[in-house]
Amino acid sequence: MKKVRIRLFQISVSPTVEENLDKVERAVSMPWKPGKTGRPLPRKAGKKCARNHFDFLVLPELFTTGYHNKDKMKILAEDMNGATVETLKRIVRQYGIALAAGSFIENKQGTVHNASIAIDRKGRLVNAYRKTHLFSVLKEDKLLSPGNEIDVFRIEKITAGTLTCFEIRFPEIARKLTLQGAQILFCPVEWSHPKSEILFTLARARAIENQIFLALTNITGKSGGLNFCGGSMIIAPDGTVLARGSGDKEEIIDAEIDLRHVSIYRKQIPALSLRRENLY
């Protein structure tokens, strides 16, 4: 797969899991329309679009629930066979697309994680990344347990990696995934005002320093007492912003990327191959 069509869904989190999953299906049902900016979500799901109208859907962090106190997080947690995952499997099969990233509150044998999942076109779960670096400033480390694995995964013939929200501040994670062969990094986030420019700078930095594509999806609106800043984006290996959502609207953002540009750009500026690892 060389050219890849990516759709970001910048959701405003509604009160129930069911409402948010319904929004996801509406977002998937919209016709493909690439552009530099986003466009609004329709009020009702459209007719089933032609299969393969886009390739990958990227959802935000905890897009069905947002963050809550510890007791409610435990109540909302589901396992990998729960309603959220099963609904997403049904959606990707029905519309012939793949889910590249998007996290939910997972209950794994009594341990609660922030888990981002990837599901291929056939509805098979191909990756479950449990956030490894928890944001102690908002007491995420008191609400959830960290994962302990950082690895790339294969989906629809591409190699990808996941960074979840706070983890975009750790260049080591993006570099490890790059050296493992990732062609693109998928970043589900819940990032709030007034730090929107920090998010934009970090996202471009991770793409530029690793000469890799990066697709980041944020939420928008208010949730858990915070005002989220949107700005979902798709970035090329040279730092070019291919598409970017608004800061305050629920939107779909579509863009096509050409994965050949990863190797082309690395040949033009061979920064990765010129590293002197013995010095660091």
Q: Tell whether domain 3-269 is in CATH 3.40.50.150.
A: no
Q: Are 207 and 214 in contact (CB under 8 A)?
A: yes
User: CA 21, CA 34: separation in Å to the nearest integer?
Assistant: 23
Residue 186 structure tokens: 């998928």
Residue 238 structure tokens: 């040279």
pLDDT tens per residue, range 79-107: 999 999 999 999 999 999 999 999 999 99
User: CA 100, CA 85: separation in Å to the nearest integer?
Assistant: 13
The secondary structure of the chain as a DSSP string is --EEEEEEEE----SSHHHHHHHHHHHHHSPP---SS-EEPPSS--SPPPTTSSSEEE--TTTTT----HHHHHHH-B-TTSHHHHHHHHHHHHHT-EEEE-EEEEEETTEEEEEEEEE-TTS-EEEEEEP-S--GGGTHHHH---------EEETTEEEEE--GGGGG-HHHHHHHHHTT-SEEEEE---BTT-HHHHHHHHHHHHHHHT-EEEEE--EEEETTEEEE---EEE-TTS-EEEE--SSS-EEEEEEEETHHHHHHHHHS-TTTT--GGG-
Is a pLDDT exceeding 90 seen at residue 155?
Answer: yes
pLDDT tens per residue, range 181-224: 999 999 999 999 999 999 999 999 999 999 999 999 999 999 88
Residues known to be catalytic:
61, 131, 165
pLDDT number for residue 68: 87
Which residues are within 8 A (CB) of 104 and not within 5 positions of it... i.e. 6 or more apart? 62, 63, 64, 65, 78, 84, 85, 115, 117
What's the predicted TM-score (pTM) here? 0.96
pLDDT tens per residue, range 211-267: 999 999 999 999 888 999 999 999 999 999 999 999 999 999 999 999 999 999 999
pLDDT number for residue 70: 81
